[in-house]
Amino acid sequence: MSFYMPAEFSEQQAAILIFPERPGSWGFGARPAQKVFAKIINTIAKHEQVYVIVSDKTRKAAEELLRPDNITLLDIPADDAWARDTAPTFVKDRETGEICGIDWKFNAWGGEYDGLYAHWERDDALAEKFCEAAGFGCISAGDFVLEGGSIHTDGEGTVMATEACLLSPGRNPGMTKRQIEQKLLGMLGCEKMIWLPRGIYNDETNEHIDNVCAFIRPAEVVLAWTDDTDDPQYELSAACLNVLENSTDAKGRKIIVHKLPIPDIPVCVSEHDLEGYEFEEGEDTREVGERLAASYVNFFFANDIVLLPQFGGENASGDKRALDIMRSLLPEREIIPVDAIEIIKGGGNIHCITQQIPK
């Protein structure tokens, strides 16, 4: 197969988001989250086309909050709004430039073993339906379970993932690590895989890579970090740093690592937050004081910009620090801070709710 997955920082033709509504993810009728999603969509639409997946329940709110320029609404059934994980992963033909979407098997981050909700049929069908509606070819990954947030590529033959996620018993328990690696390399047109041991502490996706480490250019990454040795994240990030400092990419280059500190004060579920959720039977629930997997690494590249999560309140200084670091690392792009507190309450962040389509 001559397809390969371009890097997220390469030129894009479009982005995909799903307008939020699930009561167990998005509190208070999802209205606070919808306003943040709308700001993100309207911002991306200034730089590239945006496909927004809506339902009968969310179409009216989307039409009210979104500016129509460069935005296409598509009616496709979904169980939740994590487009990174349920929309297709796009690859490009090296010879013709044709863009196709990969349809991975989706099982709500762990299926019967430790999945986050009991029914995920609509999410699993979404990738194929999107390709059909938007006019892209679709490549089936068969029964291979994967979420888009669990992989990062450099566009030059290297893919990164975490062992905690890809080797978790709820995904592909019948496959060895080597078999999983070979499947991914083949599907993504890559030659080398870098396995990081862990992700972000308490990340309910079994520690997706997109929360802990991301390519910002070939052979260069940002890594979620803390200097606080008492923080449970310290050992996880230190283990990742050890691997990265002793790794080379597919072209034999040493990996340059930039530390991107996590929020100084853990972002936790409040009593007020809990009042807004409505959990269904079989769905993972939240509790007051639960630490959410807040990380500045969960940013999104669009053409000429980066949308960077901000957590506000006690973390204002950490927000500014992350902003300053990203501006120094990517001077050629506009780094746009986004108040993402309503997204992290759903369990993920800006990268988790977006999926790019390469040019």
Residue % of the chain over a pLDDT of 70: 100
pLDDT exceeds 80 at position 104: yes
pLDDT for the residue 85: 98
Distances (CA, A) of 337 to 16, 327, 341: 20, 11, 12
List pLDDT tens digits, range 12-63. 999 999 999 999 999 999 999 999 999 999 999 999 999 999 999 999 999 9
pLDDT for the residue 221: 98
- Cβ atoms within 10 A of the Cβ of 115, count? 18
List pLDDT tens digits, range 244-269. 999 999 999 999 999 999 999 999 99
We report the CATH number of the domain holding residue 241 as 3.75.10.10
Domain count, the chain: 1
Q: Which two tokens stand for residue 225?
A: 């970090």
Q: Which two tokens stand for residue 166?
A: 């890809």
Which amino acid, residue 67? R
Range of the domain at 317: 3-358
pLDDT exceeds 90 at position 281: yes
- Spatial neighbors of 101 by CB under 8 A, at least 6 apart, are 87, 88, 89, 90, 91, 127, 130, 131, 136, 137, 138, 139
List pLDDT tens digits, range 65-93. 999 899 999 999 999 999 999 999 999 99
> Which residue reads 């996590």 in tokens?
262
Residue % of the chain over a pLDDT of 90: 99
User: DSSP class of residue 218?
Assistant: T
Q: What is the pTM of this model?
A: 0.97
CA dist., res. 4 & res. 186, Å (int): 9
Q: Which of 165, 190, 213, 352 is catalytic?
A: 352
**What is the arithmetic mean of pLDDT over 268-284?**
95
pLDDT exceeds 80 at position 97: yes
Length of the chain: 359
List pLDDT tens digits, range 117-142. 999 999 999 999 999 999 999 999 99
* Run of H or E including 279: none
Strand-by-strand arrangement of the 213-217 sheet: 213-217, 220-225, 256-261
CA dist., res. 138 & res. 99, Å (int): 9
- The two beta strands, 89-93 and 99-105, are antiparallel
CA dist., res. 113 & res. 116, Å (int): 10
pLDDT for the residue 169: 97
**What is the arithmetic mean of pLDDT over 276-294?**
95
pLDDT for the residue 303: 97
- Spatial neighbors of 238 by CB under 8 A, at least 6 apart, are none
Residue spans of alpha helices (H) in 74-219: 83-86, 111-114, 121-134, 163-166, 177-188
pLDDT exceeds 80 at position 298: yes
Q: Which of 248, 243, 223 is nearest to 322 (CA)?
A: 223
Clarify whether 352 is annotated catalytic. yes
User: DSSP class of residue 63?
Assistant: H
User: DSSP class of residue 335?
Assistant: E
**Is 174 buried (19+), middle (13-18) or exposed (0-12) by CB count in 10 A?**
exposed
Q: Which two tokens stand for residue 71?
A: 């935005």
pLDDT for the residue 68: 85
CA dist., res. 122 & res. 76, Å (int): 9
pLDDT exceeds 70 at position 1: no
- Cβ atoms within 10 A of the Cβ of 356, count? 29
Q: What is the mean pLDDT of the chain?
A: 97
